[in-house]
């Protein structure tokens, strides 16, 4: 027995299809807090595993305090894809801080390509390395890696899904 179509049934169906379409959009932004690293020291922090096969489309670092550096005492942040077993060495993004930065200002970290491919389960890490002779302190901060994946929605239209921390914007 089929349910006769009426205005309420149609609205319920459209609402259900809209929910399904939104659930088909797989997107993720991994956020990790980085601790302060002393001058003349390096640190490695695990960001986590890639949630799906797709691309890394952005990496951003927001320092907790001012980064005080000079061209001769650079501090470098490098995001590396270690692969599913944690043994890889593919550089995803890197940024060398060679001049004074400012607290609470987002610093984009340059990707090695326009969009770097990752597989589901690939382990990503970030290294904070001091290359100077006397050393420069890393004040710590927040690093965000944005993953994207092309998905087919319930309507059958393929599109690029950008990663967000938290919920997707209402316009999506």
11-37 residues labelled b (16+ CB within 10 A) or e (exposed): eeeeeeeeeebeeeebbbbbebebeeb
Q: What is the mean pLDDT of each run of 10 residues along the chain (172 residues)?
A: 52 45 62 91 93 90 80 85 93 83 68 84 94 80 88 53 38 36
Q: Could you tell me which CATH class the domain 26-161 is placed in?
A: mainly beta
Q: What is the pLDDT of residues 76-106, one digit of tens each?
A: 899 999 999 999 999 999 988 776 655 456 7
Domain locations along the chain: 26-161
For the whole prediction, is pTM greater than 0.85? Answer: no
């Amino acid at each position: 027995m089929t349910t006769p179509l009426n205005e309420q049934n149609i609205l319920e169906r459209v609402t259900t299809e809209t929910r399904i379409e939104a659930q088909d959009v797989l997107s993720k932004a991994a956020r990790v807090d980085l601790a302060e690293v002393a001058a003349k020291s390096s640190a490695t922090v695990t960001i986590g595993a890639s949630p799906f096969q797709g691309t890394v489309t952005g990496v951003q670092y927001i320092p907790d305090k001012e980064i005080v550096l000079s061209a001769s005492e650079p501090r470098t942040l490098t995001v590396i894809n270690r692969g599913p077993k944690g043994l890889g060495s593919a550089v995803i993004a890197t940024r060398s801080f060679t001049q004074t930065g400012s607290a609470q200002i987002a610093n984009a970290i340059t990707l090695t390509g326009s969009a770097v491919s990752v597989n589901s389960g690939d382990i990503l890490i970030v290294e904070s390395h001091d290359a100077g002779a006397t050393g420069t302190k890393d004040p710590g901060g927040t690093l965000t890696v944005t993953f994207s994946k092309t998905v087919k929605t319930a309507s059958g239209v393929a599109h690029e899904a950008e990663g967000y921390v938290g919920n997707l914007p209402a316009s999506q």
